[in-house]
Chain A
């Protein structure tokens, strides 16, 4: 069912059978014209009632699915199958995919259906039309996985792996890789289970060797299956993670590093923050030099400035010797607190307060001002309004104090937040508040006389 506007554009290039013109956009609407325009595209043949039936049936099915009326959907699906016999070859060829999608949906949710029915349906649909075999096999396997039938899923995937039909198109190539990768994932799962078992065994136990040999087999199978997919551009987080875990277990650090670096830095791959996180964690485990870690996290900072790893990043930067790292450290902190998800992060505020003091003591007022310039219009109402003052104090006094420090430094002791907090009287925090007042007096950028 194409868009009305599409039909209009098409009809301009062909002879219009109607006398009246349809100008899109001048406000004239001819709803009855659409039917005739549709026939222009089909060469003048009116839509046969058979097509009308199948179209109506399809919309009834879709409506029933939306409303979760599985019974009704099944009824209409029953009648929809006749589209496989449509004399219109376009419709006939597009039918199996539609039927699979709708049918599998119905069978997934219908109370009377079970794994048996689904299996029969999937097997039938696989054999209609050659191009759908792989896709359906994969989805079938996922369904079985969902129901916990791992062996069946494995069998299914193995079967699908061996499918060949003439020249493979590139889309089929990806599907085959995916199928192999899922197989690999299943292998990984078995391997992982065996690893658990192994850890309970003693090294001297006679079963240990066989068990570890077994494991090795699985891991080899896994790596074989996952290799191909990981090299194709895409987002393959679970596959990469499992693969790397296996490589690390067997001590292949170089291999693991190569995989992760590739995954994170290869330009063909879509930008994926997780890739960088995996790489960072790996390097951390490897105890890589700080410079390296910083360079990895720098990229993550550019993609996801609000990530919780940013605090770690800040720590690294702070400890570094380079001055521009120190500047970046300040940037990173401000960046994290720009986001609504981090407003209640007490560590972030603590760091910021401390670091501001440090920076100002280090005579880098310019840095602070640079960061503050772009934020001074909206941070006050975003973080330091009197509403927040009251609410923060009620919820978490420690947080309120840290925030107050920052507020005082950036906005001066006259700002609402600071005033509110400084007026609070709390046994535990009295000393702290006093200290804050002192710091603010000393460091606040509002009073130029430091």
Chain B
């Protein structure tokens, strides 16, 4: 976000989140016997609440307010329509009650003013078309669980009106909303707005608690009671994983029939040139490497607008993992410069060290060994802290969730016990050194010139590892080894299994470093590196199956 300019656009405030409407309308309905008094609410409203909270959090982080008011809101409405929960004739709330609550909404609400926003999407308007094109049999589908939801058995209940049937609902072709998918929605909006938050940044903010996700339901309005089946829907016990959210994002984009996203051009934050620069700075590598990364980007064609822009309705809808890809490019550049075979990089370091000792006033040559020592120490420290934070993470919410009236007492008692035990032990713990919540930043490492304790390598030169060839510079290292020997003929997800022991220690270190930075699996990063290499060394792959050395010159 440091690189973003403030956008000054008139923000059209599209009004409050619809929750207030719904609660007003539903007051008139007859209520089921409930375990707790409160409003009637539907599960999708719950998700709406969560999205709202997340959008607010993103706004606090510096994202422009259009994301919340326009983009995300519209995506959500489109989802509701596509999944037939709202904005269409005969939404799916059956179970004998035919709650046609939301059906009336479009005509009553402020959202009639919204079609002009919806028309931003330069495709067919979908306000009514969705239902027309669908066969009519859908809405009156007899749900097998309708019996259960009518029964007043205490064992199956939920705070929401449709919690039970929601969890049992299994419709083909409809993407059911889940809490992880809220993040997918957020990311889609961020991507649409081309904001300076990558997916790994987003997930990291979630983990650090800047964006509500786990136990987001704790911030629901007081009157929205949550229990029973709602627990399975809203209380998750896993951190979001990159691959998972990424897949969900594509799935949702396809489901929503979204058009081609705004172009990602060279001046966009998400363009590999800029992301590479950001990551180079973050891992304390010399600025001069940026030229090389730009070269690689150009040669592989991954900087093209068409390649980078997300187009869900294209034939093979896939998008780019911008952050992983940028990092993979850096890895490839490091391999080009240093070979990373546990040998050459140290030899080159020796040369650099000797030069630096003799010429203390000149711009120092980049010394891989010194960099490794500095980075390893920093990363190990960070990793240790991260592991400890994960071990101390409190998963359970303050107010316990229970499945039914039977285990309600037990659950409350347990919580009470835990709280009292915690109180007792907190007196033993020094209150002083608690880690204050860090202010969110997209940079996990910061390096400053002149800090003697932690050398900053940004200004170091690459002369030691480049040599002159005619009128341009090329790498001293003329060898290369490929991360993957063979790719599957059919396009499958797993192009290569990353087995650490097959690779050099330097390579392992680099991969571990960057995968920790992005909080992804090492195998994902390795895969991405392989894909970049596949593009870079196209000819090698098509010719032979054997691993071969390639000689390439970098030209300025």
A residues whose Cβ falls under 8 Å from a Cβ of B: 32, 48-50, 52-53, 56-57, 60, 70-71, 74-79, 81-82, 84-85, 87, 99, 103, 106-107, 110, 112-113, 117, 120-121, 124, 128
Contact = CB atoms under 8 A, between A and B. Distances in A.
A160 to B, nearest CB: 21
Interface stretch (B169-177, B416-424, B456-464): B416-424
B395 interface: yes
Contacts of A77: 425
A75 B400 CA distance: 23
B420 to A, nearest CB: 7
A40 to B, nearest CB: 19
A57 B424 contact: no
A230 B101 CA distance: 76
B388 interface: yes
Interface stretch (B1-9, B52-60, B303-311, B426-434): B426-434
A75 B388 CA distance: 10
A110 B427 CA distance: 11
Given A49-B239, A74-B428, A82-B395, 17 more contacts: A48-B238, A50-B395, A53-B392, A53-B393, A60-B391, A70-B428, A75-B392, A78-B392, A79-B393, A79-B394, A84-B417, A84-B418, A84-B421, A107-B428, A117-B427, A121-B421, A124-B417
Contact of B418 (A53, A74, A82, A110): A82
6 contacts: A49-B395, A74-B425, A74-B428, A84-B414, A85-B418, A124-B421
B110 interface: no
Return the 4 tightest CB-CB contacts between A and B, nearest first.
A56-B391, A79-B392, A50-B237, A74-B428
Nearest to B425: A78
Nearest to B497: A32
B390 interface: yes
A3 to B, nearest CB: 22
Contact of A112 (B388, B396, B427): B427
Contacts of B430: 71
Given A85-B418, A121-B424, A128-B417, A74 B393 contact: no
Interface string B39-63: 0000000000000000000000000
A74 B396 contact: no
Given A53-B390, A76-B391, A113 B428 contact: yes
B399 to A, nearest CB: 12
B237 A57 contact: no
Contacts of A32: 499
Interface of B: 237-239, 387-388, 390-396, 400, 411, 414-415, 417-418, 420-422, 424-430, 499
Nearest to A61: B391
A106 B239 CA distance: 30
Contact of A48 (B237, B392, B394, B424): B237
Contacts of A84: 414, 417-418, 421
A87 B394 CA distance: 14
A81 B417 CA distance: 9
A78 B429 contact: yes
A168 B392 CA distance: 38
Contacts of B426: 78
A52 B394 contact: no
A67 B424 CA distance: 23
Contacts of B394: 79, 82
Contacts of A106: 428
B389 to A, nearest CB: 10
B443 to A, nearest CB: 25
Contacts of B415: 85
Nearest to B235: A87
A77 B393 CA distance: 12
B417 to A, nearest CB: 6
Contact of B387 (A56, A74, A112, A120): A56
A81 B422 contact: yes
A87 B390 CA distance: 19
A224 to B, nearest CB: 37
B390 A117 contact: no
Interface core residue of B238, B391, B393 (most chain A CB under 10 Å): B391
Interface core residue of B417, B424, B426, B499 (most chain A CB under 10 Å): B424
Nearest to A73: B428
A53 B392 CA distance: 7
B429 A74 contact: yes
Contact of B396 (A76, A82, A124, A128): A82
A106 B425 CA distance: 10
B420 A85 contact: no
A109 B239 CA distance: 35
A413 to B, nearest CB: 69
Contacts of A48: 237-238
A32 B388 CA distance: 23
A81 B391 contact: no
Contact of B422 (A60, A71, A78): A78
Nearest to B426: A78
B24 to A, nearest CB: 36
A87 B401 CA distance: 11
Nearest to B522: A32
A81 B418 contact: yes
A18 to B, nearest CB: 11
Interface core residue of B392, B400, B414, B420 (most chain A CB under 10 Å): B392
